[in-house]
Amino acid sequence: MIGSMQLCVLLLRLLTGMNPDSALEARIKADTMLVAPGAGAEGFVLNESIASLVQYRGYPEKVVRTEKPGDVFRDIFGQATAVPIAFDTVYYYEAKRAVVFLRNGVVTAVAGFERFRITYESVNLNNGIEYFIFHYGNDGMKVIPRGTDRMYLYEKRGIALVDDKNDNVIDMFIVFQPR
């Protein structure tokens, strides 16, 4: 069975002759409201270099460099997962409400805090966790609780959603390379 994203990539390749990866990258950079699981979000593309990042989005308001590599889920959410995402630098774009995690000068993950975002598959994040799960399904989804907070991890799709207070509101999303 072919998924909607694979179908879009195939059609793009057949109809335009364009490399679908570069077309998706261009779309992510142009549309900051787009969340593309496993590819990028908030105008930032996974595997993008610092030079490209700064050229496209400017310098962040805050930069944090770590002494030793950290793990996004363990160090940010406080829960180790089977999906370690290493970082040694964090760029915080306060005005864009986005955090970019980098390892050796390359983007490894992007976290966003805006609810008014749409996924590549046209799922509106503002509609909440239940709506997201209804469209993406629960196959391969892991729910990681921490007190009243929940993280919904789709490691094969490359996205995690955080619901503070378990109130069906997506308070943060993290996009990363699928495993």
* Percentage with pLDDT > 90 across the chain: 78
User: Would you state the pLDDT for residue 17?
Assistant: 52
User: Would you state the pLDDT for residue 178?
Assistant: 95
User: Would you state the pLDDT for residue 77?
Assistant: 78
Q: What is the 3-state secondary structure (H, E, C) of 58-105?
A: CCCCEEEEEEEEEEHHHHHHCCCCCCCCEEEEEEEECCCCEEEEEECC
Vertex 171: Cα angle to 6 and 69 (nearest 5): 75
* 10, pLDDT greater than 60: no
3-state secondary structure of 13: helix
User: Would you state the pLDDT for residue 6?
Assistant: 61
User: Would you state the pLDDT for residue 87?
Assistant: 97
**Which of 2 and 76 is assigned the larger pLDDT?**
76
State the angle between helix axes of 4-16 and 20-30 in degrees (0 to 180), rounded to the nearest 10: 110
Segment 136-151, tens digit of pLDDT = 999 999 999 989 999 9
Which residues in 111-127 are b (16+ Cβ under 10 Å) and which e?
A: bbebeebebbeebebee
User: Would you state the pLDDT for residue 76?
Assistant: 80
Judge whether 144 and 150 are in contact, CB under 8 Å.
yes
The domain spans of the chain are 124-176
Over the chain, what is the mean pLDDT? 90
pLDDT band per the 50, 70, 90 thresholds, residue 22? confident
pLDDT band per the 50, 70, 90 thresholds, residue 179? confident
pTM: 0.87
**Which of 178 and 20 is assigned the larger pLDDT?**
178
* 117, pLDDT greater than 90: yes
| Pairing relationship of beta strands 44-45 and 86-93 according to DSSP bridges | unpaired
Rounded to the nearest angstrom, the gap between the alpha carbon of residue 51 and the centroid of all alpha carbons in its chain is 20
Q: Residue 39 and residue 152: Cα distance in Å, rounded?
A: 18
* H or E stretch covering 40: strand 40-41
| Pairing relationship of beta strands 34-36 and 118-119 according to DSSP bridges | parallel
Q: Residue 41 phi/psi, 5° resolution?
A: -165, 165
Segment 38-48, tens digit of pLDDT = 999 999 999 99
Segment 70-85, tens digit of pLDDT = 999 999 878 888 889 9
